[in-house]
Amino acid sequence: MKTSNITEHETCLNRNHFLFKHLSNEEFELISEQKQVTQHKRGSLLYKEGNRTNGFYCIEQGIIKVFKTGLDGKEQIILFAKKGHIIGYRSVLSKETACTSAQVTEDAITSFIPGEILVQLVKNNGNFSLELTQLICKELGYANSYITDIAQRTVRERLAEILIHLKEEFGLDKDQTLQIALTREELANIVGTATESVIRLLSEFKQDKLIEINGRKIILINENALKKIAHLF
Amino acid sequence: MKTSNITEHETCLNRNHFLFKHLSNEEFELISEQKQVTQHKRGSLLYKEGNRTNGFYCIEQGIIKVFKTGLDGKEQIILFAKKGHIIGYRSVLSKETACTSAQVTEDAITSFIPGEILVQLVKNNGNFSLELTQLICKELGYANSYITDIAQRTVRERLAEILIHLKEEFGLDKDQTLQIALTREELANIVGTATESVIRLLSEFKQDKLIEINGRKIILINENALKKIAHLF
DNA sequence: CGATGTTTTGAGAGGATTCAACCACAGTGG
DNA sequence: CCACTGTGGTTGAATCCTCTCAAAACATCG
């Protein structure tokens, strides 16, 4: 992790950002001064569950996975954050220790913003505040759906759903593969199952001509069938 | 459901409420004027998943269950709200349709407050806004824990955890039973399992002298053992 | 008293996990 | 250069947990 000299206009923390567009000129200046832009290699930790944090991150580039660690050390991935997303604000606002860890999945650049600034913005900028509550509410809605999903659907259904979701969220490479390339273990930790189960189901999907597999590269060749398995229509 | 003539000082939506204590006198006046205090019988619906809502509820008395409905109609209970809790604000703020339904579990009295007031408060009252984001962040943290729980623990472990949680959240009756009396199906819909599984596990717990059962009344007689099963220490 | 809803128990099937062994591959160091 | 090591991926077999289906006991209520 090293601080880079990326200049402001290259970052996505700008006046077009859905959240930061609500800032006044002075507020934006303040953030621009205070933010620390940093590069991170795959595997490095931004923050760790149980620790106090003193700021939050805006993702400029790359992918960060946010996860909780279960009792036996097994990760449960809560979300993958990409460009434009902000993470780590939860513990800043609720003044609790972090309830998740954040680790780099694809080499990333982040802007770190001190927590006091966030608190001041919530207090003083109504439009920013409203936008932020809307964001958190959406995350909450997503979490509630996920609870219902995990509680009521089979691993097979959830895996199909995740594949569709990864495509819609992160898009495709030139060669039609899912842009985000995850290990089998990471897939398992999203779905909430054992690594071996993911492997078995992926090869079932492959046999059924729903996907093609090339190492970590996955191509969805029958998206409709996957959606049907996932009950997405 | 009928509007009652309960006067302001009887409600918990008052100047001591963790959220509404941040209101100015004028704001508090406005809410007091606009709120609709209503009584609800067990079973009645406050709002329904998929519908638009135009306000939120502050629970004055009773218990409301908030749940999502899965594909096959099976409920997943997200939380039980009691006195002082507010529910239904999510869809007001995120301007989406409700992602959950709310139904009365124990005869209840609620104050309904129009959504525009909430939005205006978030915009204009920094302290209120900060307190609200903290609340939502806590709910989000709880949801994330629950995702990890359901994904990684057995039904047995989760049921033990829920029993402990229900005791800590709702307390005990005079006769040492859990104050909140749920059907087997409701218990199953919190844990995220089949009704029969809850019944079997409850009678296992009973055989192991961890609990006593009297219809819907449950007594925890070996809380430590339950906590151990739930991995709570 | 029937009628309806809830609780209970049993049996069977199926999904998912665990444990184990094995392969492929890349990086390391002698 | 090659053995060594570690990580990630794969497969098989056995086990176990959980669900589903079905039927019966029980409770509650008009």
Per-residue pLDDT of chain B (233 residues; tens, 9 = 90+): 444 445 444 677 889 999 999 999 999 999 999 999 999 998 999 999 999 999 999 999 999 999 999 988 899 999 999 999 999 999 999 889 999 999 999 999 999 999 999 999 999 999 999 999 999 999 999 999 999 999 999 999 999 999 999 999 999 998 899 999 999 999 999 999 999 999 999 999 999 999 999 999 999 999 999 999 999 98
Asked whether residue A47 falls in the same domain as residue A144, the answer is: yes
Asked whether residue A205 falls in the same domain as residue A128, the answer is: no
How big is chain B by its Cα radius of gyration, in Å? Answer: 19
Report pLDDT for B71. 81
Confidence of residue A230 (pLDDT cuts 50, 70, 90): very high
- By residue count, chain A amounts to 233
Asked whether residue A15 falls in the same domain as residue A122, the answer is: yes
State the Cα–Cα distance between residues B109 and B102, nearest whole angstrom.
Answer: 13
Report pLDDT for A9. 44
Domain span at residue A163?
Answer: 154-229
Nucleotide nearest to A159 (CA to C1'): C16
Name beta bridge partners: B110: B38, B59
Asked whether residue A137 falls in the same domain as residue A165, the answer is: no
Check pLDDT > 90 for residue A18: yes
Report pLDDT for A1. 46
Asked whether residue B122 falls in the same domain as residue B11, the answer is: yes
Which bases on strand D have an atom closer than 7 Å to a protein beta carbon?
A: 8-13, 17-22, 27-28
Cα nearest neighbour of A138 on chain B: B94
Which structure tokens are listed for B85? 């809790």
Q: Are B65 and B77 in contact (CB under 8 A)?
A: yes
- Which of A6-20, A58-72, B217-231 is predicted least confidently? A6-20
From the CB of residue A43, how many other CB atoms can be counted at a distance below 10 Å?
Answer: 9
Backbone angles phi, psi at A215, to 5 degrees: 65, -125
- By residue count, chain B amounts to 233
Q: Are A214 and A204 in contact (CB under 8 A)?
A: no
Asked whether residue A163 falls in the same domain as residue A141, the answer is: no
* pTM (predicted TM-score): 0.94
Asked whether residue A7 falls in the same domain as residue A68, the answer is: yes
Structural domains in chain B (count): 2
Asked whether residue B191 falls in the same domain as residue B114, the answer is: no
**Residue in B68, B95, B159 with CA at minimum distance from that of residue A144:** B68
Cα nearest neighbour of B233 on chain A: A71
Query: Which of B126, B150, B174 is the endpoint of a domain?
Result: B150
Q: Which residues of chain B make contact with A132, given a CB cutoff of 8 A?
A: 133
**Residue in A39, A36, A48 with CA at minimum distance from that of residue A8:** A36
State the Cα–Cα distance between residues B233 and B231, nearest whole angstrom.
Answer: 5
Burial of B30 (0-12, 13-18, 19+ CB in 10 A): middle
Cα dist. B85→A94, B17, B24, B117, B178 in Å?
Answer: 17, 10, 20, 17, 20
> Which single residue has its CA nearest the C1' atom of nucleotide C17?
A194
Report pLDDT for A10. 60
Contact across the interface for A93 and B192, Cβ inside 8 Å? no
Asked whether residue A161 falls in the same domain as residue A50, the answer is: no
B70 touches chain A (CB under 8 A): yes
State the Cα–Cα distance between residues A154 and B147, nearest whole angstrom.
Answer: 15
| Per-chain mean pLDDT for chain A | 93
Residue A14's CATH number: 2.60.120.10
Check pLDDT > 60 for residue A31: yes
Report pLDDT for A11. 73
A34 touches chain B (CB under 8 A): no
- How close, in Å, is residue B4 to chain A by CA atoms? 31
Asked whether residue A28 falls in the same domain as residue A127, the answer is: yes
Query: Which of B135, B150, B165 is the endpoint of a domain?
Result: B150
Q: Are A24 and A125 in contact (CB under 8 A)?
A: yes
Asked whether residue A195 falls in the same domain as residue A106, the answer is: no
Backbone angles phi, psi at A171, to 5 degrees: 75, -170
Report pLDDT for A193. 97
Report which DSSP code applies to A10.
G
Confidence of residue A218 (pLDDT cuts 50, 70, 90): very high
Asked whether residue A34 falls in the same domain as residue A96, the answer is: yes
Give me the residue from B78, B99, B133 closest to A136, CB to CB.
B133
**pLDDT tens-digit profile of A115-174?**
999 999 999 999 999 999 999 999 999 999 999 999 999 999 999 999 999 999 999 998
First-to-last C-alpha distance (Å) of chain B = 44
Instruction: Please identify which residue in the block is written with the tokens 């079997």.
Output: B200
A141 touches chain B (CB under 8 A): yes
Give the mean pLDDT of A196-222: 96
Contact across the interface for B76 and A122, Cβ inside 8 Å? no
Strand D: protein residues, Cβ closer than 7 A: A 183-185, 195-196, 199-200, 202-203, 213, 215-216; B 154-156, 192-194, 196-197, 215
Identify the residue among B123, B144, B227, B229 best suited for mutation to test binding to A, counting A beta carbons within 10 A and taking the highest: B144
% residues pLDDT > 90 (chain A): 89
Cα nearest neighbour of A149 on chain B: B70
Report pLDDT for B8. 46
Residue A163's CATH number: 1.10.10.10
Nucleotide nearest to A157 (CA to C1'): C15
Report pLDDT for B2. 44
Verify if strand C has an atom below 7 Å from the CB of B185: yes
Query: Which of A130, A150, A170 is the endpoint of a domain?
Result: A150
Confidence of residue A12 (pLDDT cuts 50, 70, 90): confident
Distance A183 CA to D2 C1' (A): 30
From the CB of residue A69, how many other CB atoms can be counted at a distance below 10 Å?
Answer: 16
